[in-house]
Amino acid sequence: MTDLLSLAPQEARAALTAWLAAQGEPEYRVRQVLPRLWQRPIAQWSDASDLPAPLRSALDAEFPFPRLTLAAHQVSSDGTVKFLWRLADGEAIESVLIPEGKRRTLCISSQVGCALGCVFCATGRMGWRRNLTAAEIACQVREMEVQGLGARPTNVVFMGMGEPLLNWDAVDTALTLLNHPEGLAIGARHITVSTVGILPSLAALARRPEQFRLALSLHAPTPQLRRELMPIEKKYALADVLKALGAWRRRVTLEYVLIADRNDSLEAADALAQLAKPLAAHVNLIPLHPGGAPDLPPSPHARMLAFERRLKSHGVEAVLRRSRGLDISAACGQLRVELEGHPHRKVGTQLHAHVD
């Protein structure tokens, strides 16, 4: 059996072409079968009513689709939707849909858990379990369509569970599946990879010709503070990461979670501006989600606004993001952690609560 959904479209086409020829099927069958992977996805081959029944049965036997089981589906009062997907081996991952006007951004996971241990992240506290396959990554988008959970996302961001560039081989293929015309056909400029700065894989991503967007999880403007918040500083130093970003051909976004009395001073804003300006980087200021790190206090709103103003006074483009999904455990990894702590709790209902 072959997992066609973990193959790049060109490889899937070649595998299907050879197999169909061996079955004595006419050449035009490839044009009927291939779109059922990504362009017009189905749950199983038996759903492809335009194909003869014997061919459908043979396809189901030879090329079964790996599936993600929807274990939880929560809807926030602000429209944010969180999905908990159960994998074939019983592990679970999360993705979050953020609608905003005509834009539908899906935040997807690349690993089960995370090995990096950032102090403000619920996934980091979970630890690393395993890498996802290319199919498990891209199927977070595919399953939404197959299961009738809404229209195909317009944007995809690798900002869910895990560090994408520590699972580069699968992420590399998943990027192709998301972007290729015979895949999900999402424009490269609408796909963002977020990383703490894994230098070898960052170089490999930079070599790809597509204009994928890059976001650096920074969260501290100095090596010392970054080491306190993000242990990865010990392996990939801030100076080396910034040097690598300087070679990036496209604009970079710097992500910065604001934590009270840790990284939210005006002096920290001044230091951050000195890093952002040479890169012409855009800075996303992110309120700390209280569910992600219960022992860390979020920065007060007034201080976050002052931090944003200080960056702008230096000529840095900065935006203070609005917290989304506060009523549905929307901190990355939070829902899975909650369910593991309450194994008999049933979470399949939509949750609605008032959010100020």
Tell me, what's the pLDDT at 219? 96
Q: What is the CATH number of the domain that holds 83?
A: 3.20.20.70
Domain final residue pick, 62, 81, 107: 62
Is 107 annotated as catalytic? no
148: which 2 tokens? 């009738």
Q: Are residues 223 and 133 in the same domain?
A: yes
Q: Look at residue 356 and tell me if it is in a domain.
A: no
Q: Which of 62, 85, 111 is the last residue of a domain?
A: 62
Give the side-chain half-sphere CA count within 13 A for 244: 22
What's the pLDDT score for residue 292? Answer: 66
Whether residues 132 and 43 share a domain: the answer is no
CB atoms under 10 Å from CB of 136, counted, come to 27
CB atoms within 10 A of CB 29: 18
CB 67 within 8 A of CB 136: no
Task: Specify the residue for token string 């995809």.
Answer: 156
Domain-located, residue 351: no
How much is the pLDDT for 291? 65
Active site residue 94: yes
Greater model confidence, 52 or 334: 52
Q: Give the end of a domain, one of 27, 46, 62.
A: 62
The one catalytic residue in 94, 163, 233, 255 is 94
- Residue 24, phi-psi category: left (phi > 0), alpha (psi -120 to 50), beta (remainder): left
* 232-264 confidence digits (pLDDT tens): 999 999 999 999 998 888 899 999 999 999 999
Contact 93, 160 (CB under 8 A): yes
Domain tally, the chain:
2
| For residue 220, pLDDT beyond 70 | yes
> Any residues with CB less than 8 A from the CB of 173 and at least 6 apart, and which?
6, 7, 8, 134
The owner of tokens 């002096």 is 267
8 Å CB contact between 289 and 260: no
Q: pLDDT class for 322, splitting at 50, 70, 90? A: confident
Angstrom distance (rounded) from CA 166 to CA 117: 14
In a domain, 149, yes or no: yes
Looking at the domain assignment, is residue 20 inside a domain?
yes
**Residue 112 belongs to some domain of the structure:** yes
pLDDT given at position 142: 97
For 246-257, give the DSSP string.
HT-SS-EEEEEE
**Domain assignment of residue 348, yes or no:** no
* Percentage above 70 pLDDT, the chain: 90
The pLDDT-based confidence of 50 (bands split at 50, 70, 90) is: very high
- Do residues 99 and 248 share a domain? yes
Look up tokens 């918040």; give the residue.
Answer: 229
Provide the residue range defining the domain that includes 195: 69-341
- 127 & 218 share domain: yes
115 in the same domain as 17: no
Does residue 346 lie within any of the structural domains? Answer: no
Q: Are residues 185 and 282 in the same domain?
A: yes
- Residue 55: give its domain's CATH number: 1.10.150
Nearest to 196 by CA among 234, 250, 140: 234
Do 53 and 109 lie in one domain? The reply is no
Distance between CA atoms of 268 and 56, rounded to whole angstroms? Answer: 60
Distance CA 5, CA 135 (A): 5
The reported pLDDT for the residue numbered 77 is 86
The reply to whether 84 and 13 lie within a common domain is: no
From the list 91, 317, 332, 340, the catalytic residue is 332
Q: Region 136-144: what's the mean pLDDT? A: 97
102 within some domain: yes
Contact between 221 and 238 (Cβ < 8 Å): no
Give pTM, 2 decimals.
0.90
Indicate if 181 and 279 belong to the same structural domain: yes
193 plus 327 within the same structural domain: yes
Q: Which of 33, 60, 23, 27 is nearest to 44 (CA)?
A: 60
CB 284 within 8 A of CB 255: yes
Report angle CA 129, 131, 137 to the nearest 5 degrees. Answer: 125
For residue 51, what pLDDT band results from cuts at 50, 70 and 90?
very high
Q: Which residues pair with 131 in a beta bridge?
A: 111
130/227 Cα distance (integer angstroms):
24
Residue 179 has a pLDDT of 98
The tokens of 215 are what? 């976001």
Looking at the fold, whether 125 and 189 belong to one and the same domain comes out as yes
Residue 159 sits in the same domain as residue 301: yes
What DSSP string runs through 13-74? HHHHHHHHHHTT--TTHHHHHGGGTTTS--SSGGG-TTS-HHHHHHHHHHSPPP--EEEEEE
